Amino acid sequence: MAGIAQVSGADTPLFTKLKLPNGVEYEQPLGLFINNEFTVGKANKAFEVHSPSTGKLITNVHEAQAADVDIAVDAATRAFEEGPWSKLPPSERGVLLNKLADLFEQNVTTLASIEALDNGKAIQLARGDIAGCIGCFRYYAGWADKIHGKVMDVSSDTFCYTKQEPIGVCGQIIPWNFPLLMFAWKIGPAIAAGNTVVMKPAEQTPLGALFVATLIKEAGFPPGVINILPGFGRDAGDAIAHHMKVKKIAFTGSTLVGRTIMKAAAESNLKKVTLELGGKSPNIVFDDVDIDRAVEWINFGIYYNSGEVCSAGSRVYVQEGIYDKVVAAFKKRASANVVGNPFDENTFQGAQVSKVQHERILNYIDIGRKEGATVEVGGEAHGTEGYFIKPTILSNVGLNARVMQEEIFGPVCTIAKFTDIDDVIKQGNGTNYGLASAVHTKSLNTAIEVANRLKAGTVWVNCYNSFHAALPFGGYGESGIGRELGKEALKNYTQVKTVNINLA
Ligand code: ADP
Ligand code: MG
């Protein structure tokens, strides 16, 4: 895609030794992972992978195109239908997921360092991502042998039951903001339920998933169960979305691409579709709060992961009585965030993922200025090397302004006033998105009323961006279809078979 150069694959080996700024050394696979082996793409093309914190080339990675998708889907189909996977007792799927979790535990430092390098995120947050992956694998390992059907008592001369069967080959297309965590959220339920997978990591951040491929093999997953194809969305991604033998597609990314995925499913084999898309989530502060605590959460809500979070609390609403005080405290808090080198243990906010995103975010700040916004703090790039942006707060933004309606996906939030619950519900529900939201208050009644009336898949109360593998996550409105995590996610990866036996 824009900004990522395609090169010949001839000069790109299948593995390279990388030495990271924090001293971590490891062997980075660079090939397509199909049938538990690394290979070169049919077209022998590769693409460049850059470090967002320096802008410099890290390595080239082999590129999968449509012909490679065919090969990977065939491998996944064979694994599903006739390989050892197809006969494996469900509990053994749980054992494999737990082994993968063990290997993540043994490789936390390497995995977190790869994320810091490739995505530009702060290493302290990257470690949290890896902990999230481990929690997710272990959670779904537990489900593997607890996916049951039911017996229905219909009449005395029938015996009727349902089974929860896996769907088959699942295409999974993931974004660059949490390269490994999104990998885990997708793999966990798909594998627990007995499916096989063709996964495409984002072209901006392919390194983590390819390193994990070596762990997948080491854990003992049979060949073809999990295949990983680095490549571009318009090519490999599109081929997965249109593939006739891919029975289910799970996508996390922009709402724009989500629409094309759904269209591709409709145009091909009506594969089942789940989408986790954008957001413009309201983070609401009532006047009864402890201001410092609430400000901690609004700061974390928007600047966590450099604002590259679909659930980011990008619209802050403050009740009018404490508005000025909150603005002052939030400006101070935002300015105190340590922005910079992702490998520095003190860094909270690393680099934006790419030059394209960096420019896009700065452009949004300009749009905000033109729409009459006041830049309370930030509003510009941080430093001259790499893709950093200062934590930014925009005030005096109307509900219909683009910076209030459109997802910026960076460290930029708006802050606005409200009078009472009715007013903030109207403003809070005033976009086409509905991914997440939060309310900060000491009043249980206020919290519950606001939680009931917000149109969002998640409502956090007195916290923000607080995830757990057991808690379903997903969107209302244009934020998506289906839920990830929790027992809910298993519904996306199973289909119900009804067996009706005539005993008469
Ligand atoms: P962003 O624009 O923020 O990079 P995208 O939604 O484009 O987010 O990317 C999320 C994922 O979707 C990436 O893995 C990307 O390669 C993939 N993708 C992009 N365009 C398409 C497409 N037309 N078909 C399938 N996958 C796509
Ligand atoms: Mg990168």
Answer whether residue 7 is part of any domain.
Answer: no
Nearest-angstrom CA–CA distance, 187 and 389: 32
Domain annotation covers residue 323: yes
Same structural domain, 302 and 166: no
Low-confidence ranges of the chain (pLDDT < 70): 1-2
pLDDT of residue 329: 98
Residue 314, in any domain of the structure: yes
Domain that holds residue 204: 65-277+482-496
Buried b (16+ CB within 10 A) or exposed e, 204-230: bbbbbbbbbbbbbbebebbbbbbbbbb
pTM over 0.95: yes
Q: Check pocket membership of 234 for ligand 1, CB cut-off 6 A.
A: yes
Say how far residue 154 (Cα) sits from the centre of its chain: 43
Total structural domains within the chain: 2
* Ligand 1 pocket test, candidate residues 173, 263, 358, most atoms within 8 A of CB: 173
450 within a domain of the structure (yes/no): yes
Task: For residues 294 and 211, state if they share a domain.
Answer: no
> What's at 282, amino acid-wise?
P
Q: What is the DSSP string of 351-419?
A: --S-HHHHHHHHHHHHHHHHTT-EEEE--SB-SSSSS-B--EEEES--TTSHHHHS---SSEEEEEEE-
What pLDDT, on a 0 to 100 scale, did the predictor assign at position 292?
Answer: 98
Cα–chain center distance at 420 = 34
For residue 187, the domain's CATH number is: 3.40.605.10
Cβ–Cβ under 8 Å, residues 276 and 309: no
Dist CA 37 CA 50 (whole Å):
25
CB 312, CB 304: distance < 8 Å: yes
pLDDT at residue 2 in the model = 54
> Cβ(258) to ligand 1 under 6 A?
no
Q: In terms of domains, do 263 and 321 share one?
A: no
Residue 55 lies in a domain: no
Do 273 and 291 lie in a common domain? Answer: no
* Whether 221 and 293 share a structural domain: no
Assess whether the C-beta atom of 173 lies below 6 angstroms from ligand 1.
Answer: yes
Ligand closest to 175 (CA) is: 1
Radius of gyration of the chain (CA): 23
- 189 and 297: one domain? no
Domain-located, residue 50: no
Q: Mark whether 386 and 266 lie in a shared domain.
A: no
pLDDT at residue 1, as a whole number: 44
**355 and 427 housed in the same domain:** yes
Which residue among the candidates 133, 310, 413, 484 is catalytic per the annotation?
Answer: 310
Question: What is the per-residue pLDDT across 274-325, written as a single tens digit (0 to 9) for each?
Answer: 999 999 999 999 999 999 999 999 999 999 999 999 999 999 999 999 999 9
Neighbours of ion ligand 2 (CB under 5 A): 118, 204
In a domain, 154, yes or no: yes
Which residue in 420, 430, 42, 482 sits closest to 229, CA to CA? 42
* Residue 254 CA, closest ligand 1 atom number: 6
272 and 287 share a domain?
no
Q: Which ligand is nearest to the CA of 202?
A: 1
Residue 109 sits in the same domain as residue 232 = yes
Q: Which ligand lies nearest to the CA atom of residue 54 in the structure?
A: 2
Q: Which residue has the tokens 């691409």?
A: 257
Residues 271 and 331 in one domain: no
Q: What is the predicted pLDDT for the residue at 298?
A: 98
* pLDDT given at position 218: 98
Same domain, yes or no: 87 and 147: yes
Active site residue 136: no
- For residues 262 and 255, what is the distance between their CA atoms, to the nearest angstrom? 11
Catalytic residue among 63, 203, 276, 308: 276
276 is catalytic: yes
The whole-angstrom distance between residue 340's C-alpha and the CA centroid of its chain comes to 23
- Assigned domain for 2 exists: no
Q: Find the CATH number of the domain harbouring 341.
A: 3.40.309.10
